[in-house]
Amino acid sequence: SFFLCVLSMLFIYIQHEGWAYTTFGLSLAFLMLSLVLSLNEIYISTRALEIELRDMED
């Protein structure tokens, strides 16, 4: 997403606004996807830690 954001700034600089809007929109979509995947990974890690701690109590 960061690469697409930089590419969007390049398109703004060279005055290709249509491509700039498209690449910036794509970069935002990929950023949101990245955040969702990160939250999913945090959830999985939390569940794994809970299982490990439960096993240590027994």
pLDDT tens string 8-52: 999 999 999 999 999 999 999 999 999 999 999 999 999 999 999
Sign of CA dihedral 7, 8, 13, 18: positive
Token couple for 29? 């979509």
Q: Is the pLDDT of residue 1 over 70?
A: yes
3-state helix vs strand vs coil in the chain, percent to 5? 90, 0, 10
Helix (DSSP H) and strand (DSSP E) numbers for the chain: 2, 0
Tokens 């939250």 appear where?
39
Q: Which has the higher per-residue pLDDT, 55 or 14?
A: 14
The structure's pTM equals 0.75
